[in-house]
Amino acid sequence: MKNILFNILFLCLFMNNISYAGYNVIGVSKNGLLQLDDGTNVKIKNMYVPSEMHKEYSSYINSIIGSDSVEAVVVDASKDLYNNSIVDDIKAGGGSVYKKLLSGGYVLNYNIEDIAVDKEIVEAENNARNLQIGLWSRDKQIFLSRAEIETNTKNHVNKFKVVKGRVKRVKLVKNNMYINFADDWKTDFTVKIAKENLGNFAGYQIEDLVNKEVIVKGWVEYYYGPAIEVYNQSHINIL
């Protein structure tokens, strides 16, 4: 179910072979889509804007419109089921607006399609987290605690969430890695790394997460309690 939902909301569903390079961004819609001067609405691939940050995100985009030529850059545009085009990035003054949004703490990166995560993207998000700016300074508003997601699981299943908690134990079962946050794995919040994705965590000492406070990004599903499957190192971070 989680993978189906992700495909609906994030992945490229219809290939159109349309280039948006050179089209200017002229505004932001109420639901956070970027408006181009040809009337097209686009969103940046892998970008997640928490509803609590929409005002700040929109203000930032509007602040750079007019001061720089803000262009959507993509070779092959694709569309989601709502007919919104997905672009790789937008550029202002020759630089990546997406990286500026991440480093300012306006948005989150959730990269599942491209397992080889761009190091500069990771560094941009880490910068905001380390400085505790933007959404990272409002964790009680934006991040769910382990207790909250366990208490109100049905309200969070099939939704993208960021969960914060302290790891209780890590265990390899049938070549899948499970990260548990409480004593009862049948009811507590669990993070799963499927065996086919363990290679994406090469060099990442998963066992060292025990007793560490972490944040986890992903789609919530129900698997003996609330669970999130992570696909690469950018989905789980030590605080």
State the sign of the Cα–Cα–Cα–Cα dihedral 49, 53, 58, 60: negative
Tens digits of residue pLDDT in 207-230:
899 999 999 999 999 988 899 999
User: Could you list the residue range(s) of the whole structural domain that residue 121 is in?
Assistant: 2-137
Question: Do both 115 and 215 map to the same domain?
Answer: no
Residue 19 — pLDDT band, cuts 50, 70, 90? very low
Tens digits of residue pLDDT in 103-136:
999 999 887 655 556 788 888 998 998 899 999 9
pLDDT at residue 85, as a whole number: 80
* Listed residues 95, 119, 137: the one ending a domain: 137
Helix (H, G, I), strand (E, B) or coil at 160: strand
Split into its structural domains, the chain has a count of 2
CB count within 10 Å of CB 70 equals 21
Residue of 94, 100, 142 whose CA lies nearest to 124: 100
Question: Do both 9 and 118 map to the same domain?
Answer: yes
Residue 15 pLDDT greater than 50, yes or no: no
Tell me the residue ranges of DSSP E strands in 68-212.
70-73, 78-79, 85-87, 89-92, 95-96, 108-109, 144-145, 160-166, 169-173, 176-180, 190-193
Question: Do both 210 and 152 map to the same domain?
Answer: yes
Q: What is the CATH number of the domain that holds 91?
A: 2.40.50.90
pLDDT at residue 72, as a whole number: 65
